[in-house]
Amino acid sequence: MSRQIKIFDTTLRDGEQSPGCSMNLREKIQMAKQLENLNVDVIEAGFAAASPGDFQSVREIAKIIKKSTVASLARTREDDIDKAWEAVKYAAKPRIHTFIATSDIHMKYKLKMKPEEVLKQAVEMVRYAKSYCDDIEFSAEDATRSDPDFLVEIFEKVIDAGATVINVPDTVGYTTPDEFYNLIQTIQKRVKNIHRAEISVHCHNDLGLAVANTLAAARAGATQLECTINGIGERAGNAALEEIVMALRTRKDFFDLQCDIETTQIMRASRLLSQITGVQVQPNKAIVGANAFAHESGIHQHGVLNERSTYEIMTPESVGLSQNKMVLGKHSGRHAFEERVKMLGYQLSKEELNKAFQEFKQLADKKKNVYNRDIEAIVSKGSIEVPKVYELKRFIINTGNTITSTATIILKVQDQEIEEVSAGEGPIDAAFKAIEKIVALDTSLEDYALHSVTEGKDAQGDAIVKLKKDEKIYVGRGLSTDIVESSIHAYLDAVNKILFEAEE
């Protein structure tokens, strides 16, 4: 019988620490719901002591999630652990995840503590956390550069103090698969009470080995694998959930390991995260990249047409991709639209469905065929919208290669319409400057990107705008067959998120 593996997702904690990947409360809740749809075993919802915003998001996620364990990170400090418990106590299955560094370099230069002091603090704080709840995870930060003898000692003692999971992080992405395999085996063999705790691993991708190291650890005996959607995270990121899970599934003959992830939800999770953060995955990214199941070579195409397994080791459907053969158009009715939404796996309220159907009809008037990816873009955009303080009423653009581009923007604010005109280095720049005059916020444009949702000259433009205010990045998104309009919507979406967060 295959050994069971648990998947611990830290997209909302370690993943959000990736530069430019911050999320607001609504976005975190939406992502948490999708992680639950994926059937992850543990959702690390955040670091409750880091900020009031982090505390609130962990608490709200804990209240909503019913199937997955909800964890909060905490340093080995009483105040951190207090806040972690206050946030996760509402969860159906709460966990406190506490950590301290164990490598010589971290203890000497970061903690300025001796090994015996680290050991004492770890044991005391695990025991303190245990007074709140039964499920306690202890992480030895920078474990792969720590003295194995010290690791064995500290793991043994924190298990005696009540730890139910011991985590072995490759914090700086330093180790290699063979080394990591041997380290996990050492822990299994030398930690006398290891049978009372699960072994977890958390690998970073600085040398591009995070997934390989994680899988090596799983073979060596680790039973919980920590990872993120799309592999996002600090520096070069974390082990990618989709790569780990599909490796276990596709090579079950080799690993003989079982996890309960609903793989057909992988693509939706990947796209939702990209939509929220504005960070697209590279086309050749394993599993979720645009080219992962694309075949351009004539030899490859011929082979796949005759027998898919010639060049496909897994099916697109297994990760949630569907063929765009059936298209909807302006003559398609509400019932057909509703059935397509259900087929794509979305569960919308009556109000959400009405709003999405209206947007679909508007889109169908602009382009002949509406594809699944168009519908997914409409539905996912609407699911995390914030209240619209500023709303586009109309715009006029004058541009050309022999004139200065100008934009006239009219925005609706409550019952009032405000109009401004501005010139710029092209129509987008002019439009953004006109909006800046109206909203009068002290922000800077950090990034702007435009992607095509589907193929064809009538494809929707998916615009991403990143605004920086008070050292925080706000991501806005806009959809339209007119790329100027989609860009304006994206800018306003980011502005409205800034205002919404200021009111919370």
Residue-wise pLDDT tens for the chain (504 aa)? 789 999 999 999 998 877 667 788 888 999 999 999 999 999 999 999 999 989 999 999 999 999 999 999 999 999 999 999 999 999 999 999 999 999 999 999 999 999 999 999 999 999 999 999 999 999 999 999 999 999 999 999 999 999 999 999 999 999 999 999 999 999 999 999 999 999 999 999 999 999 999 999 999 999 999 999 999 999 999 999 999 999 999 999 999 999 999 999 999 899 889 888 888 888 899 998 877 776 444 544 445 456 666 667 788 788 877 654 456 777 778 888 888 787 776 777 888 888 888 888 888 887 777 777 778 777 776 666 678 899 999 999 999 999 999 999 999 998 899 999 999 999 999 999 999 999 999 999 999 999 887 777 778 888 989 999 988 888 888 888 899 999 999 999 999 989 988 776
131: domain CATH number is 3.20.20.70
Q: Does 227 fall in a domain?
A: yes
Residues 119 and 194 in one domain: yes
Q: Is 318 exposed, middle or buried (0-12, 13-18, 19+ CB in 10 A)?
A: middle
Domain encompassing residue 485: 390-503
Burial 457-484 (b: 16+ CB within 10 A, else e): eebbbbbbbbbbbeeebbbbbbbbbebb
Residues 473 and 372 in one domain: no
Residues 71 and 115 in one domain: yes
Alpha carbon distance 425, 435 (integer Å): 15
Residues 472 and 377 in one domain: no
Helices 427-439 and 483-503 pack at an angle, to 10 degrees, of 30
Alpha carbon distance 187, 298 (integer Å): 50
Residues 333 and 218 in one domain: no
245, 261, 277 - which closes a domain: 277
Residues 121 and 265 in one domain: yes
Cβ neighbours for 243, distance < 8 A, ≥ 6 positions apart:
211, 231, 286, 287
Alpha carbon distance 269, 376 (integer Å): 12
Alpha carbon distance 176, 389 (integer Å): 51
Alpha carbon distance 176, 199 (integer Å): 18
> What sign for the dihedral angle of Cα 68, 11, 389, 442?
positive
- The half-sphere exposure of 149 on its side-chain side, counting CA atoms within 13 A, is 3
Residues 28 and 71 in one domain: yes
Cβ neighbours for 348, distance < 8 A, ≥ 6 positions apart:
341, 356, 379
β-strands 94-101, 136-141: how paired? parallel
364, 382, 400 - which closes a domain: 382
For 149, other C-beta atoms within 10 Å of its C-beta total 10
360, 382, 404 - which closes a domain: 382
Collapsing DSSP to helix, strand or coil, 296 comes out as coil
Looking at residue 196, the DSSP 8-state letter turns out to be G
Alpha carbon distance 273, 34 (integer Å): 10
Residues 494 and 354 in one domain: no
467: domain CATH number is 3.30.160.270
Q: In angstroms, what CA-CA distances link 252 with 98, 233, 244, 246, 371?
A: 33, 27, 12, 9, 34
Residues 349 and 462 in one domain: no
Residues 426 and 345 in one domain: no
β-strands 224-227, 6-9: how paired? parallel
* Nearest CA among 190, 251, 253, 244 for reference residue 218: 244
Residues 212 and 357 in one domain: no
For 16, other C-beta atoms within 10 Å of its C-beta total 24
Quote the longest CA-to-CA distance of the chain: 78
CB 245 within 8 A of CB 269: no
β-strands 165-170, 136-141: how paired? parallel
Tokens encoding 92: 């159906």
Q: Does 404 fall in a domain?
A: yes
Alpha carbon distance 440, 434 (integer Å): 10
Alpha carbon distance 251, 225 (integer Å): 17
Residues 398 and 360 in one domain: no
Q: Where are the beta strands (DSSP E) in 425-471?
A: 444-452, 461-469
Q: Does 299 fall in a domain?
A: no
Q: Does 350 fall in a domain?
A: yes
pLDDT score recorded for residue 297:
47
How many folded domains does the chain comprise? 3
pLDDT score recorded for residue 304:
46
Q: Does 327 fall in a domain?
A: yes
Collapsing DSSP to helix, strand or coil, 257 comes out as strand
Burial 84-113 (b: 16+ CB within 10 A, else e): bbbbbebbebbbbbbbbbbbeebbeeebeb
